[in-house]
Amino acid sequence: MVSAATTPFARLVLLGVLCVRAHAFQDWCQAADKAVRSMHWDVDVCKGIDWVGAALSVENRRLVYAEFGQKDSPNTTLILATVHGDEVTPFFVALKLTNWLRDHKKEIGQTRVIVAPLVNPDGFYRPRRTRMNARGVDINRNFKTHDWELLALRTWREKYRQDPRRFPGYTPRSEPETLFQEELIKQFKPQKILAIHSPLNMLDYDGPSEHLTLSQFPKDYRKQCERLKTSLRAKSTGYFPGSLGNYSGRELGIPTLTLELPSADAKQAMRYWLLFQKGIKTMIDFHILESRS
């Protein structure tokens, strides 16, 4: 019997699918490669990395991620970088991480890692890079948190004096880049999230802890989250209406770490990778044994 996959027609269909797929990510690879070369970075953008993702940014750029490690692992880490388009060092660190994950399959063990290295491509590819997306929205203020309706625009007007760099949008979840991150959380159900930013030089923690603030989560789970926080020496410094830490950390109860690299200076990117790779790997390895509910 001849299997369907070996018939000439089936082979043609498969070839067609592969060509469309390769073509779809070719634009992403070319643009990213050009940016990487312009900054004299030593990192592979697409070699051996299977980028996926169907969502598009406001200006129709592809929003991509790559998956590494064991599928359906109970120890999944989601890594989000370059949510603010003018912060270039997080892009390098996330790409370096994909290269490391590609080259160290055995060391990843039973874990799974999802990396989205360029969440805000429109801001990144502007001739003058912007923190915001193409519609002028700060993607890290656009998640639908419980306090959004009451506080997001009020905080922006009163506390930030309508600083365009902090504009949360007129409604929550209005931006494709916000929905893309939400989808990754829904699809992969990560046990931990790491967002890479710059330039505040700190590691911030949002999520359950042993304190009373998030007591709706089981005590043993809170303890494990606290252990993760302590092992990474992270601090909790507050949260904003519509921020990722508020949404995934405080409301969904997924420990969310925000690594703020010391600067957005492209020349320092390699130094930051060397400095922070151990901490990132510690986070990936950390297994939260207790359940959230």
Minimum distance of Zn ion from residue 71's CB (angstroms): 30
**How many C-beta atoms surround the C-beta of residue 220 within 10 A?**
11
Q: Tell me, by CB under 5 A, how many residues bind Zn ion.
A: 2
The distance of closest approach from Cβ of residue 276 to Zn ion in the complex, given in angstroms and rounded to an integer, is 15
Binding mask 35-74 for Zn ion (x = CB under 5 A): ----------------------------------------
- Site membership for Zn ion, residue 250 (CB under 5 A): no
Q: Do the bridges between strand 112-116 and strand 66-69 make them parallel or antiparallel, or are there none, so unpaired?
A: antiparallel
In SS3 terms, 186-213 reads as HHHCCCEEEEEECCCCEEEEECCCCCHH
C-alpha distances in Å from residue 74, one per residue of 70, 100, 189, 251, 274: 9, 21, 9, 20, 28
Q: Which of 36, 49, 76, 84 binds Zn ion (CB under 5 A)?
A: 84
User: Minimum Å distance from CB 75 to Zn ion?
Assistant: 26
Contacts 24+ apart (CB under 8 A), 16-23: none
166 binds Zn ion (CB under 5 A): no
- Is-contact 195 244, C-beta < 8 A? yes
- 188-247 positions binding Zn ion, by CB under 5 A: 197
> Minimal distance in Å, beta carbon 166 to Zn ion?
11
Which residue's beta carbon is nearest to the bound Zn ion? 197
Enumerate binding residues for Zn ion (CB under 5 A).
Answer: 84, 197
